Amino acid sequence: MKRETITTEGKRISFDVDKDYFVVGADKKKVFDGSFKRSKYAVAYTEVKSDVGTRFENRFGCPASVYYDNGIVGYQNFTYFNDKTEAIKDFEGRQKLTPKIGTIAYADVFLIENN
């Protein structure tokens, strides 16, 4: 699935995401499931990277290095909180993230409240 959005640096970006990607207005039950059911807040942010590299596959019974290129991909991360002020502080900080080496951009920073 393709996602188009604005990065934390104000630039337009397009990247691939999986079907479980959370966006505002989506079902919050998937965010607050399992061991995070009792959490009151979550901060979501997406790290956008170029997914290229090599992996080993068996070719004719011998391991062989195979190159792959999945393009620009967004990996969504969540941090959970029970205190609202901590969640807001983390949310505000993540809105100012700048890319580090190996990262193209950060995008889609959301503060999610568990009802």
Number of domains in the chain: 1
Provide the residue range defining the domain that includes 104.
2-113
Q: What global pTM score does this model have?
A: 0.85
Over residues 24-83, the pLDDT tens digits come to 878 888 889 888 888 999 999 999 999 999 999 998 999 999 999 999 999 999 999 999
**DSSP symbols for 11-34:** -EEEEE--TT---TTS-GGGTS-G
